[in-house]
Amino acid sequence: LAHVVCFTERERCAGVMSRASGKQRVCYFYDSDIGNYYYGQGHPMKPHRIRMAHNLLLNYGLYKKMEIYRPSPATFDELRKFHSDEYMRFLRHITPDNMGEYTKQMQRFNVGEDCPVFEGLYQFCQASSGGSIGGAVKLNKGTSDIAINWAGGLHHAKKSEASGFCYANDIVLAILELLKHHRRVLYIDIDIHHGDGVEEAFYTTDRVLTVSFHKFGEYFPGTGDVKDVGANAGKYYSVNFPLKDGIDDASYASIFKPVIGQIMQMYQPGAIVLQCGADSLCGDRLGCFNLTIRGHAECVRFVLQQKVPTLILGGGGYTIRNVSRCWTYESAVVLNEEISDDLPYNDYYEYYGPDYKLHYAPSGMENLNIPENLEKIKSKVFEHLRQLQPAPNVTMPAAPPPAAADEE
């Protein structure tokens, strides 16, 4: 299982067959080095969770149903499609050994505490971004209907600044790739934190509609009020749904489905990017929501019912045994496969004790999102959506060449 064969483009005539049979063609990006990157002792962000999820889905046999690729590392030129040259040069050169020479730049680029310097930092950014860009390329080529990169979803990174454990914004880079072939791209964020870096990148354009459901009020990053709707040509193309502590599956579904349903109708995107941050699950080390894995995955299921090419990404998630459970179950949902609640034996089996189950119950915490308030916010969001022009009709020039990261 450790040596799952990667498909090459030349070996993939089976895709035509699966399309004819109506099955969604799924590709999955995974770099086997990803779990070795280490933010440092006591830091809540642990790339090891991606290796745990991968190992779990291998042992469930889900790998047999997808094309598995090792991403090409995103090149410097690809990263600078969004990020500034100076910031990327800084990330490329800084190491734990030479940090002392970069004190001023570390302050300028917000690297230090939440976003520490660690061994292999630049390679980590290349791997995370390479998987998301690679997934976008597969969707653009039409060789996959759904692409998964659990190492992506790092939504806080800015053009010239690290933020919230994120250094390179793989999501923005993937959306820029999708915009080469699609007039309109929809970005959906179900992480507990506001998707500020992605919203900011596309705040003034109508070619990307961003929608974020997040905890708001004395909570990082502090942005994402319902009143923040975009600007200039992008006015009303940023949608924010602020939430309070303790939201449960039923409340979340009562807002997520109507809002996304309405956006699909009004905006008619050619592609969707879904950020599946798992810090919105109950029991998260940093989060304060009360979603179960099934409730979280219901968002994935609803988005896939829209039958639009979709890129599925990871994000936050700090109780790592629950993150790996969640992303494994969501991989099964993508594949339309039923998997047992009894976890198969795997390399990290001891993490899942004492029950060794896939699903776990929500807590008894109070849901501070009362139905009347959710309805009020939903009404405001719908009011903003009514301001949208009919789906913008961009004249598409000849498509630029795909990014290099589509090589296996």
Catalytic residue positions, numbered: 156
**Measured distance CA(173)–CA(189) in Å, rounded:** 16
**Measured distance CA(98)–CA(177) in Å, rounded:** 34
Cα–Cα separations (whole angstroms), residue 79 to 107, 120, 225, 226, 253: 21, 16, 29, 31, 35
**Measured distance CA(328)–CA(57) in Å, rounded:** 5
Output the 3-class SS for 120-143. Answer: CHHHHHHHHHHHHHHHHHHHHHCC
Let me know: does 275 contact 189? Beta carbons within 8 Å: yes
Let me know: does 28 contact 148? Beta carbons within 8 Å: yes
Residue 102 identity (one-letter amino acid): Y
Q: Name the strand (E) or helix (H) holding 67.
A: strand 67-69
Q: Which residues contact 313 (CB under 8 A, 6 or more apart)?
A: 132, 148, 149, 150, 152, 153, 170, 171, 174, 273, 274, 275, 276
Q: Please give the DSSP secondary-structure letter assigned to residue 294.
A: H
Cα–Cα separations (whole angstroms), residue 396 to 180, 263, 406: 8, 22, 22
Following CA atoms 321, 26, 280, 224 in sequence, which dihedral angle do they give, to the nearest 10 degrees?
A: 150
Q: Please give the DSSP secondary-structure letter assigned to residue 186.
A: E
Cβ-based burial of 103 (10 A; exposed 0-12, middle 13-18, buried ≥19): exposed
Let me know: does 224 contact 212? Beta carbons within 8 Å: yes
